[in-house]
Structure 1
Amino acid sequence: MPKVLPFKAVLPNKAFVSLVVSRSYETYKKKELKAKLAYNPYSFLHILTPGFKFQHEISGVQRFNMVKNRYLEFHEREVYEYDTQEAYYIYRIQTHHNIYTGIIAAASIEDYKNDVIKKHEDTIQKREEVFKEYLKVVGFNTEPVLLTYPDDDAINAVIEKRTQGEADYNFAVVEQQLHSLWKIVDKESIAIIAGHFESMNALYIADGHHRSASSKLLAEEMFPQTGNEKYNYFLSFLIPESNLHISEFNRLVKGLNGLTKEEFLFRLDEIFRIENRGIELYKPSKKHHFSMYLDGEFYSLYLRKSYYNFQDPLGELDTQLLYNLILEPILGIHDLRNDNRIAYLSGKDNSIRMKKLIDEKEFDVGFGMLPVAITELKQIADAGLQMPPKSTYIEPKLLSGLTIYEF
């Protein structure tokens, strides 16, 4: 059922590509962003931060218009060029730990609206509206929505065959990653890829819920509407489920909601079997088991069997269990997005960083758990439910400015 189309991308000039591409804008700290803008005139960040040219901060519609102007300037300077024919783009990211390979294409907003492209996170309406207005002014997508699909032998075979040849783009970035891009333009391969995506029951959003929701809002405002207009699709990177990497977010909390350490442990003991693990770094090894760091010591929390009465896939999710059983009723945290008492840590060293922040008295208690499995993500999406915020840290993280989808 999913309709996944090839398209004519706007691509960086090969001479500039490693200078042009950037990480997602939100990942840059202020000093790093300023340095990138000051020393690299080709960075896509100049398009996203158009006021830097005049050393002036701008916002709202004025910023959106200037983003479009900077983009047009990059075209005029031949930093960007239009591809000559429709293509699927095989994109490979090689990091120290993994190699990710998928297909950049245009995904259907109609599929998103009809739940053929399934969601597992809630979105914030205000953010959707702001980004929709941005898209309306600038007229392009540049950061793909990350979609995942069941492994498919035929699609894998097309990718394997094409990547045996020389890449159309091959470059490294300062994060010590290698990036490669191959175009698929032959009709036979395009037909195989399109046909096999169409034979699937659904695709799943791994990352990019706000981007896809904003694209839907935009499409609903645009005319004419035959269904084939470019604004009825959005830029996507489709990756097989087996190649997706999901990590956990640890939770850190300020204060114990007025409880002493002993009172807090007594409350937990009603729900969990607790073992003091001392100063040795401890991470859970099974679902419904949690690690906790409190007052210089690690604890293991094993959910008591009497609480194994799950009503739906969301109720069985460890991030939801932590909220239902500890964060809300015991620690008094009701709003996981906006309460400034809670913070989140992701990445392979998150338990070490959690310990450090608590030892330095920035937080009082921290919790760790196993990563969400792809089967859990799909079950929750299939049931039309939404995970708590910061339930998954999903890789790969994609570059901005490599393939641009104009509409």
Structure 2
Amino acid sequence: MAIVKPFKAWRPNPELAQEIACVPYDVVNSKEARKLANGNPQSFLHVIKPEIDLSENTSVYDAKVYDQGRKNLYELLNSDAFLQEEHEALYIYQLVMEGRSQTGIFSCVSVNDYNNNVILKHELTRPDKEDDRTKHIIIQAAHAEPVMLTFRDSGSVTSYVNEYMSREDPIYDLTSEDGITHTIWKVDDKASLVSAFQDIPKLYIADGHHRCASAARAAKEMASQNPGHTGKEEYNYFPAVLFPMDQMEILAYNRIILSTPDNFLEQLKKEFTLSKNVKPVPSKKGMVSFYINDNWYGLTLKASEKNDPVSNLDITLLQNQVLEPLLDIKDQRTDPNIDFVGGIRGTDELEKLVDTGEASLGISLYPTSIEELLDVSDAGLLMPPKSTWFEPKLRSGLLIHTF
């Protein structure tokens, strides 16, 4: 069964929530974060991207960055901008983007569940990013941002949530600059939701593999330093928003290739039936669109003879049929000739990167489905890197878990 744990959240005073809430740390770089937080000392970007308060040539891995993050966090928490709940609670978090809503439970989940595969993974993590997040967690003695999990709902969680939202007022209701509405309800009646998740055997990481891994590493280190460790300490839990799988939407995670051989199109034509002037966005699974030389070309990937859930992912087929044999890209995680563009940026971003000469080739993919993600996780397998882009994104700075 999956454990959901109420917690005593720190949260912004409602009149300041709009100023404080910000995008997650991993969707903007330092330059973008500086611009977003400029003129707003209460932006939570000062906590999750603290390098923006240091000189621009400071490495994000410099010890000063971690110390600055802790300083910024506790200055906020100890100011009039934040309050801490007197009692543990759960929360309902609803996102609305372009008329489509998804509603989940904001709670803490168990590090033990992560270690014991009750919370299932589908991606490898990068050691440098894992090290970075672990240091932030330990030095801040806090989990500043939630991860996004999904689950198969029998209907009991959604039924409870819908009934609760219909009769209670939210504690936050704000619209971010990208037009997404973020609404949060506090749930003092915790027992019903905790009980509902006892019938849910597995949770699945949707977004936040590095934060999950780092929370587990931080807990292990904190336990090793605590002679009286019991397993019930707050560092054994980390915050997550859990959404039913039927409410989740995955966008494509597209690719750019920085350099291609002069005869790349001729090589494609030898292996596939190549169409010219196709639509930039593929219309179904197996179809891929390529942008090169001011034109969009399309082809259909060949199905794999293997039956496992990873082998027939479009990204796997692309790797095996195009990236490795034609472009010599053996590992998408490490090869410097490939980069990734989240689907929210659209195919216009691919065209711009190619047209300006920053890239040679843009690759537009059909999105991985949520069913494919769960099938891969259930099989204990891993997806290729950058297989899924979830949208809308959670807002950081609204509910903070300290230990």
Same fold (TM over 0.5): yes
**Displacement, 1:48?**
3.7
Tell me the TM-score normalized by structure 1. Answer: 0.90
Tell me how far apart the structure 2 counterparts of residues 262 and 246 of structure 1 sit (CA, whole Å): 29
Q: Give, as a single letter, the amino acid of the residue that structure 1 aligns with 2:114.
A: Y
Task: Say yes or no: does 1:231 pair with 2:238.
Answer: no
**Displacement, 1:70?**
2.1
**Displacement, 1:46?**
2.7
Query: Conserved in 1, the CA contact under 8 Å of 2:7 and 2:108?
Result: yes
RMSD: 2.3
Counterpart secondary structure, 1:16: helix
Query: Conserved in 2, the CA contact under 8 Å of 1:2 and 1:203?
Result: yes
The 3 A distance-change label for structure 1 pair 181 and 250 is same
Q: Give, as a single letter, the amino acid of the residue that structure 2 aligns with 1:276.
A: S
Tell me how far apart the structure 2 counterparts of residues 38 and 283 of structure 1 sit (CA, whole Å): 35
Q: What is aligned with 1:264?
A: 267
Q: What is aligned with 2:113?
A: 111
The structure 2 residue matched to 1:324, chosen from 320, 323, 328, is 320
Query: Conserved in 2, the CA contact under 8 Å of 1:244 and 1:396?
Result: no
The structure 1 residue matched to 2:293, chosen from 269, 292, 295, is 295
Q: What is aligned with 1:248?
A: 252
Q: Give, as a single letter, the amino acid of the residue that structure 1 aligns with 2:135.
A: E
The 3 A distance-change label for structure 1 pair 13 and 244 is same
Q: Give, as a single letter, the amino acid of the residue that structure 2 aligns with 1:298.
A: W
The structure 2 residue matched to 1:132, chosen from 107, 124, 134, is 134
The 3 A distance-change label for structure 1 pair 29 and 202 is closer
**Displacement, 1:112?**
0.6
Q: What is aligned with 1:141?
A: 143
Counterpart secondary structure, 1:321: helix
Counterpart secondary structure, 2:396: coil
Query: Conserved in 2, the CA contact under 8 Å of 1:142 and 1:402?
Result: no
Alignment of 1:3-402 (within 5 A): 3-28=3-28, 32-50=32-50, 57=58, 59-164=61-166, 165-186=168-189, 190-221=190-221, 222=223, 223=226, 224-257=228-261, 259-261=262-264, 263-267=266-270, 269=271, 272=272, 274-278=273-277, 280-304=278-302, 307-347=303-343, 350-402=346-398
**Displacement, 1:54?**
7.0
The 3 A distance-change label for structure 1 pair 52 and 115 is closer
Counterpart secondary structure, 1:33: helix
Deviations 1:203-226 (A, max 9, x none): 100000000001111111223332
Q: Give, as a single letter, the amino acid of the residue that structure 1 aligns with 2:235.
A: Y
Counterpart secondary structure, 1:326: helix
Deviations 1:186-205 (A, max 9, x none): 2xxx2221122121120100
Tell me how far apart the structure 2 counterparts of residues 52 and 294 of structure 1 sit (CA, whole Å): 36
Tell me how far apart the structure 2 counterparts of residues 9 and 176 of structure 1 sit (CA, whole Å): 26
The 3 A distance-change label for structure 1 pair 285 and 262 is closer
Query: Conserved in 2, the CA contact under 8 Å of 1:248 and 1:347?
Result: yes
Query: Conserved in 1, the CA contact under 8 Å of 2:33 and 2:49?
Result: no
Q: Give, as a single letter, the amino acid of the residue that structure 2 aligns with 1:250.
A: N
Q: Give, as a single letter, the amino acid of the residue that structure 1 aligns with 2:311.
A: G
Counterpart secondary structure, 2:397: coil
**Displacement, 1:262?**
5.4
Q: Give, as a single letter, the amino acid of the residue that structure 2 aligns with 1:233.
A: Y
Q: Give, as a single letter, the amino acid of the residue that structure 1 aligns with 2:282.
A: P
**Displacement, 1:366?**
2.8
- Range with bigger deviation, 112-121 or 292-301: 292-301
- Range with bigger deviation, 65-74 or 373-382: 65-74
Bigger radius of gyration among the two: 1
**Displacement, 1:301?**
1.4
